[in-house]
Amino acid sequence: LITFGLGRELVERIREVDSRLRVAVLSPAQRRLFRGGRPVWRRSSEMAQAAEESGEDARRGLDEALAEAEVLLTLSTMPADLLSRAPRLKWIQLTSPGAGRLMHKELLQSGIPVTTAGGIHVTLIGEYVLGMMIMLAKGWPHLFRAQQKGEWARLTPQELEGSTVGVVGLGNVGQQVARLAKLLGMRVLAVRRSGVPLESGEYLVDEMFAPLDLLHVLAQSD
């Protein structure tokens, strides 16, 4: 059971994995009920669609889908009574890299495996962060606005080489950002919960700090 809006092509790819799989996807109205009316992302909204089923039909459809579900592919927002409504559930797969918000007593005692998408976003987010740094250092937003107005913009772009970047959190994504920054010749300061240097890959970071030193790191970062 997929509890969020996933592209039709991706849904079909899941179905093609094994002909025995029966893949169900919640409708927009059912998804909102599943999330308890909470938005997918903070400060975002999901518009109701004209062809949606009624509230009563959506509730009935959601209850039936949960009652049959053995595997849940879902975001990290789920109903508190999920386990009682999904008695056949055997596996929860999250789209997020972490599962901290879900690790409550009932779920831990249920024995149901909970797996995450940790690691799959490393390359994408690392490149995104690098792209944002280059964009801001070179003043691209200013240049784009000037181009749209047909104006010649003068600016002095900043060089990333020799600049200092502060990386807060040194998990998989943080390490990838540090790795890319070092390739550009940047000085890398990192904040890690323990403040202890990595057992491997020390070359990624020039200096390691604990969270209490965050303001110090921010003051030094470009």
pLDDT-derived band at 106 (thresholds 50, 70, 90) equals confident
- Identify the helix (H) or strand (E) that includes residue 165: strand 164-168
Half-sphere exposure of 147 (CA within 13 A, CB side): 6
**Residue 154 Cα distances to 131, 143, 144, 147, angstroms:** 21, 9, 12, 12
| Residues in contact with 197: Cβ distance below 8 Å, sequence separation at least 6, in sequence order | 205, 208
Lowest-pLDDT range of 38-52, 136-150, 192-206: 38-52
CATH of region 122-220, choose from 3.40.50.720, 3.40.50.150, 3.30.420.10, 3.90.380.10: 3.40.50.720
Q: Which residue has the tokens 């890299």?
A: 97
Q: Which residue has the tokens 């950002």?
A: 177
pLDDT-derived band at 14 (thresholds 50, 70, 90) equals very high
Domain spans in the chain, listed from the N-terminal domain onward: 8-115, 122-220
| Residues in contact with 143: Cβ distance below 8 Å, sequence separation at least 6, in sequence order | 153, 155
The answer regarding whether domain 8-115 maps to CATH 3.40.50 reads: yes
**What is the CA 17 to chain-centroid distance, rounded?**
25
pLDDT at residue 202, rounded to an integer: 62
> How far, in Å, CA of 60 to CA of 142, rounded?
52
At residue 135, does pLDDT exceed 70?
Answer: yes
Instruction: Determine the residue type at 166.
Output: G
At residue 50, does pLDDT exceed 50?
Answer: no
3-state secondary structure of 73: strand
DSSP 98: -
This model's pTM is above 0.75 = no
Of 111-120, 128-137, 142-151, give the range with the top mean pLDDT: 128-137
Mean pLDDT of the chain: 88
Q: What token pair was written down for 194?
A: 């323990």
pLDDT at residue 40, rounded to an integer: 65
At residue 54, does pLDDT exceed 80?
Answer: no
- What is the mean predicted confidence (pLDDT) over 124-139? 95
In the chain, which ranges are continuous DSSP H helix?
8-15, 28-34, 55-68, 82-85, 105-110, 122-137, 140-149, 172-183, 214-220
- What is the mean predicted confidence (pLDDT) over 162-191? 94
At residue 133, does pLDDT exceed 70?
Answer: yes
Q: Do domains 8-115 and 122-220 have the same CATH topology?
A: yes
Beta-sheet pairing, 164-168 with 114-115: unpaired
